[in-house]
Structure 1
Amino acid sequence: MSFSDLGLAEGIVRAVTEQGYTQPTPIQTQAIPAVLNGGDLLAGAQTGTGKTAGFTLPMLHRLSTSGKQHANNTSARAIRALVLTPTRELAAQVEESVRIYGKYLKLNSAVIFGGVGINPQIKLLQHGVDILVATPGRLLDHMQQGTVNLDNIEILVLDEADRMLDMGFIRDIRKVLAALPPKRQNLLFSATFSDEIKALADGLLDSPATIEVARRNSTVEVIEQKIHPVDRDRKHPLLAHLIKSNDWSQVLVFTRTKHGANRLVEQLGKDGISGMAIHGNKSQTARTKALSEFKEGKLQVLVATDIAARGIDIDQLPHVVNYDLPNVPEDYVHRIGRTGRAGATGEAVSLVCVDEHVMLRDIEKLIKRKLPSEVVPGFEPDPNAKPQPIQLRSQGHGGGRRPQQGNARPGGKPGGGQTGRGMPGKPPAGTAAGGRSAAQHRSGGRGR
């Protein structure tokens, strides 16, 4: 099957072909016809399977063939499609896809997110935009200032909806939904198909088509996964050894905390390994610079917290390293999904100390497989080492999760952190007034 077989406009097919794509992926094969039919859609697919094109292509087709196009120089445009994403990086990535695939259409697009000045965005919106890609916090800023009009939205897309729930954006999303016209097409795309997502879908979607192209929370089969047991204080030397001995030239490394990311970059620098950190405390300029240099191959190592897990889309990224295992098992799937994209192979390595054995079991339970273990000679862990409480991220990487005491499973049982994680309208336990406020979330740089 080709993209033209799916009924897409010739200009869209031409733009897709110019990008080197000739055959749609499974999610695209199912989602594109469903969106073209005009009904609501709930779609779940593993990260890296072409989900973005699965909604941008049919959205562009519907808007370009509805007879409501404007001339390119008019300021009378009304925003007709709105795409909400959880992070700035993902918003920029989605809007770039819209521009690339819509290059031959008389449609324009814009992206708005926090961390940068709002005035240039106001001017952009004043000139008229057909398709707006936004993070929830910054969109609310514009709504409160009266600089954006959502009265003419025909298509709403919630991209990475599960991540938005994890990051505590449910209240922001509800405020946006309340400002939209009731008659519209709703598309909910998610890397995982959790019960929380289904609950959100029940309240948002009207008799939706449902697509799930892979089993729930499965990991991409082309990714080779393994763990290296190691003592907690030998992780940095082991990582440097792996990078140098294997001659890794492009490595994405995930740490649990922002401080840990910064410290690791400093340590690798002393080893002669170039690296930069990307996390919520970094300015948007610094985050953009680090990501750009990493994509271009100028940077050997990019060290990231989970805020970056959904916004990094790099073809042929060969290696992902979990320097720390994630607090929440689902984040493991998103992290390693940065490699093995678009049919390419990839390797995901996790450095696991005795403190993380409970986390490892939760991950293996989630993905329904035991990860192969390989001890690296010279880095054998102490068999008598005792687990210590893990210092979880303070202020959260973007999920309103409270630091956890001891080794109880994060994100699950009462007493082990939060309860009801991500449930729409149900705040994490222990947060003031029902969870971190939108302002608190956004002040940390997440999704804003």
Structure 2
Amino acid sequence: MPFSSLGLSPALIRAVQAKAYVAPTPIQQAAIPPALLGNDVLGSAQTGSGKTAAFALPLLEKLAKTTLFSPRKTLALVLAPTRELAIQIGDEIRSLAQHLPQAIKVSTVFGGVSINPQMMGLRGGTDVLVATPGRLLDLIDHNALSLAHVSTLVLDEADRLLDLGFEQELERILGLLPAQRQSLFFSATFPPAVQTLARTMLKDPVRVDVLPDPQAPLEITHSAFAVDNGKRTQLLRHLITNNDWQRVLVFVATKHAAEIVADKLRKAGLSAEPFHGVLSQGKRSQVLADFKASRLKVVVATDVASRGIDIAQLPVVVNFDLPRSTVDYTHRIGRTGRAGEAGLAVSFVTADSDAHFQLIQRRQGLAVALEQVAGFERMETAQVKPNVEDLGHGVGGVKGKRPSKKDKLRAAAALAAHHKQA
């Protein structure tokens, strides 16, 4: 099916041809026609499936048919969970808009940098705003923009927005938007909280679910190695060197772990950099640029920071720490095996994370045999009662194992009652 059959204007057909998009992906085929008709869309597809163009093209088609005035009014709002993803989306929309008959101004705003240049960039208004929720509200509080004229709202990576704790920000933003609008809602996974948000946002949406074809050849190979906690960095270095991996994205549980692992790899002679939320935007941008240009072999990232990393032909991702949830496993491995390319997802499994890895496999429908590498055989056994520190470092904080705040309060109340009775 060609893009011309989807109902797009000649200007946008020209734009996709200029980007060498040969044919629409399944999510684009399914989502673009109902979006062009003005329907709300609830889209589910794996990371790397072309979701950005699936909402960007109908968004731009709608703007192209709208008379734009000066000063500009924010007519389209795209919310993204991280800086990197916001930048990626903004660049894609600008690229697709370059052949439209009237110029479309696209602004990208995010936290972690000074707000003043972004406020200056919004002088005179903007047509399309791509934003992270926190910075968007900061700009609204500074009277730098208004959402009163938004006619199209897009939530991209909705599951990650909720994972990062943006519920209150989203509630406030939704309250500032016009009731009459089109909403396009995209997410790789649909846990209960995401389903609730979708019901709140959408009106009679067209549901679009694009699942991997079970008959298609697998593009991602899953591999797992049993290893002691203290030997993971040495094993990582061994695998990179012996397999001649040219670019590797390594996932760890904490910012501190990202720094430590990257430092050890550098001392071992590998070009490696950490990637996490504490780094400045300039440093993060430089790390990504070096990684994309293959000047950097290894990036050691946390889950939060890694959202939006879109590296063409990224051959390997490594779960140095297992993800906290099976949903995060989906997001992590989605960084490799993109656009039909082959990919490898490697997991390190310590004795204490055996049970959690089995859970991930069951929920992902996987059957991955644990391998042993000579010289790195696992010797440790699982602790009977693993403590919180062990879980946070070795497993990435297994969901359900850490006591919640409510659990702690209940325990404190019970202890106080016991002392009182005594």
The TM-score normalised by the length of structure 2 is: 0.91
Q: Which moved more, 1:322-331 or 1:131-140?
A: 322-331
What corresponds to 1:274 in structure 2? Answer: 271
2:224 corresponds, among 224, 227, 230, to 227
Write out the 4+ residue segments of structure 1 that deviate beyond 6 Å after TM superposition.
Answer: 403-409
- Evaluate the alpha carbon distance shift between residue 151 and residue 288 of structure 1 in structure 2; reply closer, same or farther with a 3 A threshold: same
Q: Is the 8 A contact 1:294 1:302 kept in 2?
A: yes
Return the letter of the residue paired with 1:411. Answer: K
Deviates more, 1:220-229 or 1:110-119: 220-229
Q: Secondary structure at the match of 1:43?
A: strand
Matched residue of 1:17: which SS?
helix
Where does residue 330 of structure 2 map in the other structure?
333
Task: Quickly say closer, same or farther: Cα 1:35–1:299, change in 2 above 3 A.
Answer: same
Instruction: Tell me the equivalent position of 1:197.
Output: 194
2:399 equivalent in structure 1: 411
Is contact 2:350–2:394 with CA below 8 Å preserved after alignment?
Answer: no
The one-letter amino acid of 2:184's match is: L
Counterpart for residue 56 of structure 2: 56
Deviation at 1:407, TM superposition (A): 8.6
Question: Residues 355 and 390 of structure 1 are in contact (CA less than 8 Å); yes or no, is this contact kept in structure 2?
Answer: no
Tell me how far apart the structure 2 counterparts of residues 201 and 342 of structure 1 sit (CA, whole Å).
28
Distance in structure 1 (CA, Å) of the matches to 2:406 and 2:160: 18
Q: Kindly report which structure 2 residues correspond to 1:100-115, keeping only aligned pairs within 5 A, or say none.
A: 100-105=95-100, 106-115=103-112
Q: Which residue of 1 aligns with 2:40?
A: 40
CA contact (8 A) 2:253 2:396 kept: no
List per-residue Cα deviations over 1:389-431 (Å, max 9, x = no partner). 36569xxxxxxxxx8799998334xx6445xxxxxxxxx8579
Aligned partners of 1:34 and 1:236: how far apart in 2?
49
CA contact (8 A) 2:323 2:395 kept: no
- Asked if 1:370 is matched to 2:367, the reply is yes
Deviation at 1:122, TM superposition (A): 0.8
Distance 1:222 1:100, change over 3 A: same
1:386 CA drift (Å): 4.2
User: Shift of the alpha carbon at 1:258?
Assistant: 0.7
- CA displacement, residues 371-396 of structure 1 (integer Å, 9 cap, x when unaligned): 23221222111165647736569xxx
Residue number in structure 2 paired with 1:443? none
Which of 148, 153, 159 does residue 150 from structure 2 map onto?
153
Overall identity of the aligned pairs, in %:
45
What stretches of structure 1 of length at least 5 have no aligned partner? 394-402, 419-427, 433-448
Letter in 2 for 1:137: G
Are 1:248 and 2:267 an aligned pair? no
Q: Which runs of 5 or more residues in structure 2 are unaligned? A: 410-422
Structure showing greater Rg: 2
Q: 3-state DSSP class of the match of 2:108? A: strand
State the partner residue of 2:416: none
Are 1:112 and 1:133, in contact at CA under 8 Å, matched by a contact in 2? Answer: yes
Match status 1:78 vs 2:73: yes
In structure 2, the CA distance between the partners of 1:6 and 1:203, relative to structure 1 (3 Å rule), is same
Matches within 5 A, 1:340-351: 340-351=337-348
1:2-401 counterparts in 2 under 5 A? 2-65=2-65, 67-70=66-69, 75-105=70-100, 106-214=103-211, 221-382=218-379, 384=381, 386=383, 389=386
In 2, Cα distance between the equivalents of 1:56 and 1:408? Answer: 35
Name the amino acid aligned to 2:62: R
Q: What is the Cα deviation at residue 347 of structure 1?
A: 0.6
Q: Are the structure 2 counterparts of residues 107 and 417 from structure 1 closer, same or farther at C-alpha, using a change threshold of 3 Å? A: farther
Q: 1:280 to 1:392 in 2, by over 3 A?
A: farther
**Residue 69 of structure 1: CA displacement?**
3.0
Secondary structure (helix, strand or coil) at the match of 2:244 reads: coil
Aligned CA RMSD, in angstroms, stands at 2.4
Residue type at the aligned position of 1:4: S
C-alpha spacing 1:364/1:388, structure 2 compared with 1 (3 Å) = same
Report the 3-state secondary structure (helix = DSSP H, G, I; strand = E; otherwise coil) of the residue aligned with 1:369.
Answer: coil
- SS of equivalent residue, structure 2 residue 222: strand
C-alpha distance after superposition, 1:173-208 (max 9, x if no partner) = 111111111110011100112222111111111010
Structure 2: how far apart are the matches of 1:266 and 1:335? 22
What is the CA-CA distance between 1:285 and the residue it aligns to? 1.3
C-alpha separation between the residues in 2 aligned to 1:261 and 1:10?
47
Q: Which has the higher helix share?
A: 2
1-side partners of 2:341 and 2:369: how far apart? 21
Secondary structure in 2 matching 1:32: helix
Letter in 2 for 1:93: Q
What amino acid does structure 2 have at the position aligned with 1:126? R
Q: Is the 8 A contact 2:219 2:337 kept in 1?
A: yes
Which amino acid letter does the alignment assign opposite residue 154 of structure 2? V
Do the aligned partners of 1:321 and 1:349 also contact (CA within 8 Å) in 2? yes
How far did residue 344 of structure 1 move?
1.0
Tell me which residue corresponds to 2:419.
Answer: none
Aligned residue for 1:311, secondary structure, equals coil
Query: Cα 1:27–1:406, aligned 2, differ >3 Å: closer, same or farther?
Result: closer
Q: Rate the CA distance shift 1:319–1:392 in 2: closer, same or farther, 3 A.
A: farther
- More moved, 346-355 vs 220-229: 220-229
Cα deviations across residues 265-324 of structure 1 (Å, max 9, x unaligned)?
110011100111111111111111111111111101011000133210011111111111
Task: Specify whether residues 417 and 342 from structure 1 end up closer, same or farther in structure 2 by C-alpha distance, changes over 3 A only.
Answer: farther
For 1:84, the aligned partner's letter is L
Rate the CA distance shift 1:147–1:296 in 2: closer, same or farther, 3 A: same
TM-superposed deviation, 1:357 = 1.2
**Alpha carbons of 1:332 and 1:230: their partners in 2 closer, same or farther (altered >3 Å)?**
same
Secondary structure at 1:8 match in 2 = coil
SS at match of 2:348: strand
Contact 1:330/1:366 (8 A) holds in 2 = no
CA distance in structure 2 between the partners assigned to 1:167 and 1:101 by the alignment: 29
Rounded Cα–Cα distance in structure 2 between residues aligned with 1:29 and 1:227: 35
